[in-house]
């Protein structure tokens, strides 16, 4: 018998695919909702997928394979969310299968849920001859007081009664229980905001403003407040308000990678009386599974995560917070290249919900969106409580020169040293900020000037350690011992270490202040979360006098007794081809400065620089963010740079330099002519680091008017040629990294 009219669906798989494939529904299923999760055959494998729409390819039934399984216990993705996935795929020019993959990055969710044993009171009552003990009695009491029809897991029983699991097992043997098996369900996250906690007046009105705006559905709001002004407390309260509107509501707090610290989690716990549900790259697969199910099922109420959390299928997302919205680590550079902050705004738009961007140094993009009225803005002008903003001064290294001591070169100016010693006498904490890992950035041959380079990358090797140093590449992980013989001039033992990294700074501190306790904070010393927490606790307890840190330490932390910050090399980061160099340096140094004087004692910041007249230094000195940003905005406007024009990069990489050159030149010849100068395509040029991790790289830069469809332009241009297998082509819309 022939079967007519069996339904077929277009199903998207989480693979490197441009579009979904059509599959036939099993005969017993008459229809399937869009967004349902299913299992389908692909070649000889089983894959999971999601129903996107009705079938699109008009294939005859015989040509289609059949859906093998429907995961009806898993949540269905909403229409808004599927639209978001497809929008991101178009915007970033990434294959939609790769974007979908980000929403289920854990295959384990498709495994059958494990069942758990539940213990109820035996229907026949306590067995005859049962010997009663105190702990056995307490278990029976529980059923008698809470109700005989209830069931508990073994851990619940032991938690509630104090009886050991051993006791429960003995009672089970004796026949005290009725046992049943059920699926494990994620627990509802039990949020209860601390009613005792009160906000100050400006925080209170910020909360009111945001909640009022939030009534409009999609409403992006910049929460702009100096470091320590209490922004976190403001958005915590907003979360409380949103959650109490509807018991199904969920919220997402997005943080940059390194802000996910114990301090933040403690603060959260204090205000909400529970832990947030976490989402970041170092969760174990079983934590991922558990958290994914709770997020998709709606049991998770507040999720704290890094950028990847944005692609999770929330059951009812009702508010997004992006903290430190200016932070560069929201940009993902691999696979699907996207900016987490920008995509968060898009997601909020698709979901018609409010989004709060919080920062003490908002990005220029966000400032421009406020200026054009796209975003609303609310400000906190001063630090919370008695804390005041630190006093910032510049130290001109041309006149206030560090003096060489008998133990070696110094990198601290005489005036900085005087300030340090003054604070040490008063038992206050000091932080020396230098954003460079290792001992020295260069190993140079004294005889011929040869500098040691990475064999895989076009960069110099950084020396780690002083005696018999290890030379490391910070891009690819290559390392080697320093050579005895120079590869260029064959001089013996001729290498010397040049420049300063935080290890050398630590050496200077040890020479100057041998009795003081020092903590070195960099990704080399704090390579585990545990170490980071421990070090932070030591600082909190006052067991550390001097903190030497890289940017790992620039943000988020709050140490009331830290009253002096010295920025050892303020000029770092001001050079280079990056249009955001000034903005980034300003933000980083403001954040670092924000570590000083957060308690009752006032703070001081000294920035050592060779160019005190530079606009970034002047803006920091005058604490005049507005003027600096206005200057930057008008400069970008003049040059039609983002956010006033659009940028994209096309990056070609290959192990084969010859093939790369040939293809880059071919692609250059295909550049479409622009008669009305609405766009420019520049290149190919060698990337600033032209050789990295064993790959050669060439870049094109595409610059267009704001309203031009830059994606279509790039697709039309790059699809005119077939890309050889040896070459990888990456498209980066709105690039932030020009290396």
Q: Which residues bind Zn ion (CB under 5 A)?
A: 454, 456-457, 473, 475-476, 478
d(CA 690, CA 698): 7
d(CA 583, CA 392): 18
Range 356-385, binding ligand ADP (CB under 6 A): 384
Smallest gap from Cβ 433 to ligand ADP, in A, equals 18
Under the criterion CB under 6 A, does residue 228 sit at the interface with ligand ADP? yes
Give the x/- contact pattern for ligand ADP in 160-199, rule: CB under 6 A: ---------------------------------------x
- Cβ pair 35, 79 in contact under 8 A: yes
Smallest gap from Cβ 535 to ligand ADP, in A, equals 19
Query: Residue 476 binds which entry of Zn ion, ligand ADP, none, with Cβ cut-offs from 5 to 8 Å by kind?
Result: Zn ion
Among the candidate windows 224-232, 293-301, 342-350, 480-488, which touches ligand ADP by CB under 6 A?
224-232
The two three-digit tokens of residue 304, written as one number: 């704290």
Other beta carbons within 10 angstroms of residue 438's beta carbon come to: 25
- Out of 8, 158, 227, 522, the residue judged to bind ligand ADP by CB under 6 A: 227
The count of residues interacting with ligand ADP (CB under 6 A) is 13
Beta partners for 493? none
Edge-to-edge strands, sheet with 177-183: 151-152, 115-121, 177-183
Task: Tell me phi and psi for residue 222, to 5 degrees.
Answer: -90, 125
Q: Tell me, what DSSP letter sits at residue 129?
A: T
Closest to Zn ion by CB, 415 vs 456, is 456
Query: Residue 233 binds which entry of ligand ADP, Zn ion, none, with Cβ cut-offs from 5 to 8 Å by kind?
Result: ligand ADP
State how far the alpha carbon of 1 is from the alpha carbons of 59, 463, 657, 731, in Å. Answer: 20, 77, 62, 52
d(CA 409, CA 13): 60
Among the candidate windows 9-17, 230-238, 328-336, 393-401, which touches ligand ADP by CB under 6 A?
230-238
Query: Residue 200 binds which entry of ligand ADP, Zn ion, none, with Cβ cut-offs from 5 to 8 Å by kind?
Result: ligand ADP
Closest to ligand ADP by CB, 163 vs 387, is 387
List the one residue out of 349, 350, 346, 305 whose CA is nearest residue 329: 305
Closest to ligand ADP by CB, 231 vs 460, is 231
Smallest gap from Cβ 237 to ligand ADP, in A, equals 9
Range 678-707, binding ligand ADP (CB under 6 A): none
Among the candidate windows 221-229, 289-297, 416-424, 443-451, which touches ligand ADP by CB under 6 A?
221-229
- Out of 135, 138, 200, 371, the residue judged to bind ligand ADP by CB under 6 A: 200
d(CA 55, CA 470): 59
Smallest gap from Cβ 196 to ligand ADP, in A, equals 10
The two three-digit tokens of residue 445, written as one number: 């041959």
State how far the alpha carbon of 598 is from the alpha carbons of 196, 203, 542, in Å. Answer: 23, 17, 15
Query: Residue 475 binds which entry of ligand ADP, Zn ion, none, with Cβ cut-offs from 5 to 8 Å by kind?
Result: Zn ion
Range 563-602, binding ligand ADP (CB under 6 A): none
d(CA 263, CA 87): 36
Under the criterion CB under 6 A, does residue 232 sit at the interface with ligand ADP? yes
- Out of 22, 224, 233, 327, the residue judged to bind ligand ADP by CB under 6 A: 233
Which residue is it, tokens 């199904």?
248
Closest to ligand ADP by CB, 199 vs 631, is 199
Q: What is the DSSP string of 191-242?
A: ----TT----HHHHHHHHHHHHHHTTSSEEEEEEE-TTSSHHHHHHHHHHHH
Query: Residue 478 binds which entry of ligand ADP, Zn ion, none, with Cβ cut-offs from 5 to 8 Å by kind?
Result: Zn ion
Query: Residue 456 binds which entry of Zn ion, ligand ADP, none, with Cβ cut-offs from 5 to 8 Å by kind?
Result: Zn ion
- Cβ pair 245, 238 in contact under 8 A: no
- Cβ pair 717, 670 in contact under 8 A: yes
d(CA 97, CA 338): 15
Among the candidate windows 7-15, 226-234, 300-308, 578-586, which touches ligand ADP by CB under 6 A?
226-234
Closest to Zn ion by CB, 478 vs 498, is 478
List the one residue out of 698, 629, 620, 615 whose CA is nearest residue 657: 698
Smallest gap from Cβ 454 to Zn ion, in A, equals 3
Closest to ligand ADP by CB, 92 vs 229, is 229
Smallest gap from Cβ 260 to ligand ADP, in A, equals 14
Smallest gap from Cβ 270 to Zn ion, in A, equals 43
Smallest gap from Cβ 739 to ligand ADP, in A, equals 30
Query: Residue 228 binds which entry of Zn ion, ligand ADP, none, with Cβ cut-offs from 5 to 8 Å by kind?
Result: ligand ADP
Beta partners for 121? 177
List the one residue out of 673, 589, 600, 660 whose CA is nearest residue 628: 589
Among the candidate windows 20-28, 223-231, 279-287, 334-342, which touches ligand ADP by CB under 6 A?
223-231
- Return contacts of 670-673, CB within 8 angstroms, 24+ apart: 670/717, 670/720, 670/721, 671/717, 672/713, 672/716, 672/717
- Cβ pair 313, 100 in contact under 8 A: no
Other beta carbons within 10 angstroms of residue 91's beta carbon come to: 17
Smallest gap from Cβ 602 to ligand ADP, in A, equals 15
Query: Residue 473 binds which entry of ligand ADP, Zn ion, none, with Cβ cut-offs from 5 to 8 Å by kind?
Result: Zn ion
- Out of 189, 229, 591, 704, the residue judged to bind ligand ADP by CB under 6 A: 229
Smallest gap from Cβ 599 to ligand ADP, in A, equals 9
Q: What angle separates helix 615-622 from helix 581-593, to the nearest 10 degrees?
A: 30
Query: Residue 231 binds which entry of ligand ADP, Zn ion, none, with Cβ cut-offs from 5 to 8 Å by kind?
Result: ligand ADP
Among the candidate windows 206-214, 225-233, 248-256, 439-447, which touches ligand ADP by CB under 6 A?
225-233
Query: Residue 9 binds which entry of ligand ADP, Zn ion, none, with Cβ cut-offs from 5 to 8 Å by kind?
Result: none
d(CA 454, CA 462): 9
Closest to Zn ion by CB, 524 vs 705, is 524
Q: Tell the burial category of 82 from Cβ atoms under 10 Å away from its Cβ (0-12, 13-18, 19+).
A: buried
Other beta carbons within 10 angstroms of residue 541's beta carbon come to: 8
d(CA 523, CA 690): 25
List the one residue out of 353, 314, 368, 362 whose CA is nearest residue 220: 353
Rg of the chain over all Cα atoms, to the nearest angstrom: 30
Closest to Zn ion by CB, 280 vs 693, is 693
Range 615-654, binding ligand ADP (CB under 6 A): none
Range 308-367, binding ligand ADP (CB under 6 A): none
Q: What is the DSSP string of 306-332?
A: -GGGGGS--SSEEEEEEETTT-GGGEE
Smallest gap from Cβ 450 to Zn ion, in A, equals 17
Smallest gap from Cβ 453 to Zn ion, in A, equals 9
Smallest gap from Cβ 242 to ligand ADP, in A, equals 18
Which residue is it, tokens 């501190």?
509
Query: Residue 625 binds which entry of ligand ADP, Zn ion, none, with Cβ cut-offs from 5 to 8 Å by kind?
Result: none
Smallest gap from Cβ 372 to ligand ADP, in A, equals 25
Query: Residue 457 binds which entry of ligand ADP, Zn ion, none, with Cβ cut-offs from 5 to 8 Å by kind?
Result: Zn ion
Q: Which residues bind ligand ADP (CB under 6 A)?
A: 199-200, 203, 225, 227-233, 384, 558
């Amino acid at each position: 018998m022939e079967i007519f009219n069996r339904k077929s669906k277009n199903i998207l798989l989480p693979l490197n695919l441009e579009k979904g494939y059509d599959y036939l529904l099993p005969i017993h299923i008459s229809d399937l909702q869009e967004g349902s999760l299913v299992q389908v055959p692909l070649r000889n494998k089983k894959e999971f997928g999601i129903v996107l729409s009705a079938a699109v390819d008009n294939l005859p039934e015989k040509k289609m394979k059949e859906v093998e399984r429907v995961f009806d216990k898993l949540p269905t993705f909403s229409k808004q969310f599927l639209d978001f996935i497809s929008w991101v795929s178009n915007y970033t020019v990434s294959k939609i299968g790769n974007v979908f993959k980000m929403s289920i990055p854990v295959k384990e969710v498709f495994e059958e849920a494990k069942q758990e044993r539940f213990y109820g009171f035996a229907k026949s009552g306590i067995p005859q001859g049962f010997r009663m003990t105190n702990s056995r009695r307490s278990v029976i009491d529980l059923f008698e007081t809470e109700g005989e029809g209830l069931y508990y897991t073994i851990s619940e029983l032991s938690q509630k009664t104090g009886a050991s699991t051993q006791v429960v097992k003995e009672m089970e043997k004796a026949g005290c229980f009725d046992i049943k098996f059920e699926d494990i369900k994620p627990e509802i996250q039990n949020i209860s905001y601390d009613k005792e906690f009160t906000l100050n007046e400006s925080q209170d009105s910020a909360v009111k403003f945001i909640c009022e705006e939030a009534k409009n559905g999609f409403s992006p709001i910049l929460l702009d407040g100096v470091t320590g002004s209490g922004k976190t407390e403001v958005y915590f309260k907003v979360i409380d308000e949103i959650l109490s509107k509807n018991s199904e509501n969920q919220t997402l707090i997005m943080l940059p990678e390194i802000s996910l610290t114990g301090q933040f989690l403690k603060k959260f716990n204090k205000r909400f009386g529970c832990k947030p549900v976490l989402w970041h790259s170092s969760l174990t697969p079983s934590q991922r599974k558990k958290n994914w199910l709770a997020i998709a099922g709606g049991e998770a109420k507040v999720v704290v995560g890094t950028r990847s959390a944005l692609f999770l299928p929330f059951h009812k997302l009702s508010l997004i917070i992006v903290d430190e919205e200016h932070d560069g680590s929201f940009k993902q550079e691999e696979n699907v290249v996207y900016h987490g902050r920008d995509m968060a705004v898009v997601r909020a738009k698709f979901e018609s919900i409010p989004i709060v961007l919080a920062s003490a140094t908002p990005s220029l993009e966000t400032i421009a969106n406020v200026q054009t009225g796209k975003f609303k803005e609310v400000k906190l002008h001063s630090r919370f409580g008695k804390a005041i903003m630190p006093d910032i001064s510049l130290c001109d290294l041309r006149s206030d020169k560090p003096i060489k001591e008998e133990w070696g070169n110094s990198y601290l100016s005489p005036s900085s040293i005087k300030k340090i010693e003054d604070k040490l006498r008063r038992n206050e904490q000091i932080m020396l900020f230098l954003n460079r890992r290792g001992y020295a950035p260069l190993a140079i041959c004294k005889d011929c000037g040869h500098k040691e380079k990475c064999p895989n990358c076009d960069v110099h090797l950084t020396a780690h350690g002083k005696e018999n140093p290890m030379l490391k590449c910070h891009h690819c992980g290559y390392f080697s011992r320093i050579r005895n013989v120079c590869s260029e001039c064959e001089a013996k033992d001729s290498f010397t270490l040049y420049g300063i990294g935080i290890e050398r700074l630590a050496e200077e501190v040890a020479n100057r202040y041998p009795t003081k306790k020092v903590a070195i904070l960099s990704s080399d010393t704090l390579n585990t979360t545990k170490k980071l927490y421990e070090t932070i606790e030591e600082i909190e307890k006052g067991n550390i006098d001097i903190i030497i840190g890289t940017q790992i330490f620039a943000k988020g932390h709050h140490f009331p007794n830290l009253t002096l910050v010295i920025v050892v090399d303020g000029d770092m980061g001001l050079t280079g081809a990056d249009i955001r160099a000034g903005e980034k340096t300003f933000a980083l140094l403001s954040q670092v400065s924000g570590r000083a004087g957060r308690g009752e004692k006032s703070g001081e910041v000294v920035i050592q620089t060779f160019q005190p007249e530079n606009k970034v230094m002047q803006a920091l000195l005058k604490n005049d963010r507005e003027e600096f940003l206005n200057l930057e905005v008008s400069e970008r406007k003049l040059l039609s740079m983002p956010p006033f024009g659009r940028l994209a990069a096309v990056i070609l990489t290959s192990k084969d330099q010859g093939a790369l050159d040939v293809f880059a030149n071919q692609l250059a010849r295909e550049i479409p002519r622009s008669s009305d100068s609405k766009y420019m395509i520049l290149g190919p040029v060698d990337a600033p680091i032209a050789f990295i991790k064993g790959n050669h790289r060439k870049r094109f830069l595409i610059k267009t008017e704001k309203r031009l469809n830059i994606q279509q332009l790039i697709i039309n241009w790059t699809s005119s040629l077939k890309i050889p297998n040896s070459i990888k082509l990456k498209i980066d819309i709105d690039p932030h990294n020009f290396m």
